[in-house]
Structure 1
Amino acid sequence: MTHAQGDEPATGTPPQPPVTEPAPAKPVKIKRTRVSGTWVAIIVALIVLVFLLIFILQNLDSTTVAFLGMEGSMPLAVAMLFSAIAGAVLVALVGGARIFQLRKATRKANKALR
């Protein structure tokens, strides 16, 4: 008996299908939690505080500060830190007033729908 080209010789075992590797498993996507967000915020805040400390330690030259008729002397970096804090408080007050305004408008709109 002759074999055609490409045929397997008869050895008593049937031909095996080619071996295919299984597809790689898709990575599981983990949802972010509030705790992980807080952890990242704490790390960023610590880095900012380290830079702020370096800034203050490098700018300890005393300067005269005058405000509303009052005058005093303090390190330059501390004066700049006070002004930055005052600006942040001002922004927080304006933002808080806007949030209060929006909540009041939302309550009013919800009462009108009932």
Structure 2
Amino acid sequence: MTHARGGAADRPTGPGLPGSGHHEPGGPEVPEGALEPAELRAGDVRPGAEEVTPVRPAPGRPATAKRARPTRISGTWVAVIAGLVVLIVLLIFILQNLDSVTVHFFGAEGNLPLAIAMLFSAIGGAALVALIGGARILQLRKQARRR
């Protein structure tokens, strides 16, 4: 049977060669069809150890190490740390502005610390912006589905 690397008919035969059925005195007998050493196989093109050369980077370009891409978890940690910093600054602001003020809103009137009044107004503004932004996102999604 022959195959891509050469069959028994492709192998050289003669005294002392594997696959020939002959053997030198004192040498081991290689039966017909046995695997022979790589250097005797026809079509073996693997390089030897002396032929392998290391690959070097192109001249003029410094070899730079790849930077690791940020992950979702690292982004979450950055957000948590930024949130803690904002909360600490907000707490300091509240503690320094505890003077009571009178607040009027749509006919309602009340006394509360200045910092708390400002915090409520900031939360109300953020909620208003979030509602308008969410409505715009829904509008754009609906428009994209139509296309």
Shorter-normalised TM range = 0.7 to 0.9
- Aligned 1:60-75 pairs, distance under 5 A: 60-75=98-113
Percent of aligned positions that are identical: 65
| Residue ranges of structure 2 left out of the alignment (5+ in a row) | 1-55
Structure 2 residue corresponding to 1:79, chosen from 108, 111, 117 = 117
How far apart are residue 77 of structure 1 and its match? 0.1
Residues 64-102 of structure 1 deviation map (CA, whole Å, 9 limit, x = unaligned): 001111100000000000000000000000000000000
Aligned match of 1:90: 128
RMSD: 1.7
Q: What TM-score do the two structures reach when normalised by structure 1?
A: 0.72
How many pairs were matched up? 88
- Structure 1 distance, partners of 2:66, 2:85, is 31
- Structure 1 distance, partners of 2:66, 2:121, is 47
User: Between Structure 1 and Structure 2, which shows a larger proportion of helix residues?
Assistant: 1
Runs of 4+ deviating beyond 4 Å = 22-25
Q: Work out which structure has the larger RCO, using CA pairs closer than 8 Å and 6 or more positions apart in sequence.
A: 1
Aligned match of 1:6: none
Aligned match of 2:70: 32
Aligned match of 2:32: none
- Structure 2 distance, partners of 1:81, 1:95, is 21
| Residue ranges of structure 1 left out of the alignment (5+ in a row) | 1-21, 110-114
Q: What TM-score do the two structures reach when normalised by structure 2?
A: 0.57
